[in-house]
Structure 1
């Protein structure tokens, strides 16, 4: 009797079929095309041996698969000046794949899990890559993610201010000197040079962003200390409500007020269009005081929203049926926002838990925000 042919599922180096790769993570990311330079939203599934990406969440067959054995992960990836939260995967065959998350915590979550997969695939060998930690010689005991969380603390962290420089108003920002002072006062650094080194690590890893020409020039200059201890060098938290405005008309000021509130929750959801009733992935940012949720095209590199929903007095409920949803193969985890002027918005979360979180957060903002 001959040897049966291999099935399409089996691979040369794969475990037996009862040991198929375990799925670790899935969700929406924006991916740069490998042939064209366009960026598109894809549904990504991370398993123990690679990443598969799909055109739609409901597709059975992936558009492509990225093997992670021998791959190198670079995060943050700063190859694209107008895009933040990007990371790069270079495969063992030197093929580059670029992904963009919707916000900082999402990128950090993906990066952490992908790094763990790569390390496991490499066996006992230590995974190495170009690292900010190595380039600025940060001690191994420093955890920049934990430090960032402490800095964001509403009571005891770095205070976000509204500062005016050269006929521009910068909202939700602070100076480089403020960061240095905070790091020293909290015993995170012994002196100002050491604090600047820590702040530069936070900047290079994407936790801090430069605001204004002076800080941007310093961050792009390649200096060892890219954060300036200067009252004119402004910075902001990557996940803050930062925006910059010049002197403008009253109408513009009213519009800018929408972005004043703190960010409560953000991420990608599927949204039904008002006219064509088609469904598209949109990035949502929920703010309080004033109570607004803005939605964006996640494939674009700019910060201009496609629209906004004023949530004060809105009703938010889970729904099981949405008109035209079946036509676009959209089912499950649906919810609806009905505004005070009776406008209806239909959205889909990726999981039941995510739907509950969004409904709870939007409901709270609609009751407490103005």
Structure 2
């Protein structure tokens, strides 16, 4: 994330962005340049602000603190004031525009249609590179009526966008190497492959109707401490070893570090641990430490809990990394 840039950068960091097609929230890395579109306030959520581009497209962005929201807003407003013309939109994180027929689609209703025993998507066994995968379907099933005739007819490109939203929300999962590689390397709007050899299945937590993914219960005591620090960091998963943006909240008395899915809320953490007896250390950026996989951006640090569980975390900048390490050490 601390890379040299040929163009002027006013501010950069994680924000949570509301999608145009399906109005869900996704964590994205944003870069503010001098030719960014105007800033308008958005009153419905306290940490959200709205950008309106010259062609009238609204972009809803959520910061992790009021201070960060105000800093982004001030810098964006200053950049907008310096514009000579309103025609140059150069948002780094701009997504492709989708047809109006995809607005406000209820993904749960799409899932109900996919599950339907009579008219839903039929699951079968597929072979990829000599391996047999059971209970899955190919990306070519986008021509199935469940995608093409939801609310209003849509074309294949819009169906890909809808299927990508299902994949991003965790309702679908990749099966086999081809679809997994596409998810890793494709653009934001092309993660689902319209291909007969790309395989997909339903999420394990959604295979049974009405099933709800179990959430880790957190005691009221460990969430009762005073908030010392909060911010967006990248965390490596324990099983899949992939990196996801998480909202981290550090509390004292009692000392706990919790992390949340920033696209959901900051009320129910998806994980957390006591800082009693924890060890926290900075890791060098030259080389990949043992136990770390996937896309390394740098500014890495490690936390080892009292039960010997290891957490690998990346901060956006070296300064933020050291700030988190110092804050955590004060609580251990």
What TM-score bracket applies, with the shorter chain setting the length?
0.5 to 0.7
How far apart, CA to CA, are the structure 1 residues paired with 2:290 and 2:58? 38
| Contact in 2 for aligned 1:292/1:308 (Cα 8 Å) | yes
Deviations 1:164-219 (A, max 9, x none): xxxxxxxxxxxxxxxxxxxxxxxxxxxxxxxxxxxxxxxxxxxxxxxxxxxxxxxx
Using the size of structure 2 for normalisation, the TM-score is: 0.55
Deviations 1:62-115 (A, max 9, x none): xxxxxxxxx44222x134xxx440100111211111101112111111111111
337-346 or 312-321, which moves further after superposition? 312-321
Q: How far apart are 1:42 and its partner, in Å?
A: 0.8
Distance 1:305 1:120, change over 3 A: same
Aligned counterparts, 1:53-92, within 5 A: 71-75=37-41, 77-79=42-44, 83-92=45-54
Q: How far apart are 1:36 and its partner, in Å?
A: 2.2
Pair member with larger Rg: 1
Distance 1:91 1:344, change over 3 A: same
- 2:314 is aligned to 348
Deviations 1:25-75 (A, max 9, x none): 11011111122212111110001112xxxxxxxxxxxxxxxxxxxx44222
Q: How many residues align?
A: 195
Deviations 1:144-177 (A, max 9, x none): xxxxxxxxxxxxxxxxxxxxxxxxxxxxxxxxxx
Give ranges in structure 1 of 5+ residues lacking alignment: 1-19, 51-70, 124-252
2:77 paired with 1:111: no
| Contact in 2 for aligned 1:269/1:347 (Cα 8 Å) | yes
Distance 1:42 1:106, change over 3 A: same
Distance 1:122 1:263, change over 3 A: farther
Candidates 322, 339, 360, aligned match of 2:305: 339
| Contact in 1 for aligned 2:241/2:293 (Cα 8 Å) | no
- 1:121 is aligned to 83
Deviations 1:210-259 (A, max 9, x none): xxxxxxxxxxxxxxxxxxxxxxxxxxxxxxxxxxxxxxxxxxx9811112
Distance 1:48 1:309, change over 3 A: same
Distance 1:37 1:261, change over 3 A: same
Task: Give the SS at the match of 2:220.
Answer: helix
How far apart, CA to CA, are the structure 2 residues paired with 1:326 and 1:316? 16
Larger RCO (CA within 8 A; separation ≥ 6): 2
| Contact in 1 for aligned 2:230/2:248 (Cα 8 Å) | yes
Aligned counterparts, 1:321-336, within 5 A: 327-336=293-302
| Contact in 2 for aligned 1:277/1:324 (Cα 8 Å) | no
Deviations 1:277-334 (A, max 9, x none): 1110100010111000110001114521001121011110011365688752214211
| Contact in 2 for aligned 1:270/1:349 (Cα 8 Å) | yes
Task: Give the SS at the match of 2:39.
Answer: strand
Aligned counterparts, 1:217-228, within 5 A: none
Q: How far apart are 1:340 and its partner, in Å?
A: 1.2
96-105 or 295-304, which moves further after superposition? 295-304
- 2:101 is aligned to none
How far apart, CA to CA, are the structure 1 residues paired with 2:279 and 2:292? 24
- 1:230 is aligned to none
Task: Give the SS at the match of 2:268.
Answer: coil
Distance 1:107 1:324, change over 3 A: farther
| Contact in 2 for aligned 1:28/1:44 (Cα 8 Å) | yes
- 1:298 is aligned to 262
How far apart, CA to CA, are the structure 2 residues paired with 1:299 and 1:337? 24
Give ranges in structure 2 of 5+ residues lacking alignment: 1-5, 86-216
Task: Give the SS at the match of 2:313.
Answer: strand
Which aligned runs of 4 or more in structure 1 are off by greater than 4 angstroms? Answer: 321-327
- 2:141 is aligned to none
Distance 1:339 1:324, change over 3 A: closer
Task: Give the SS at the match of 1:255.
Answer: coil
Aligned alpha-carbon RMSD (Å): 2.4
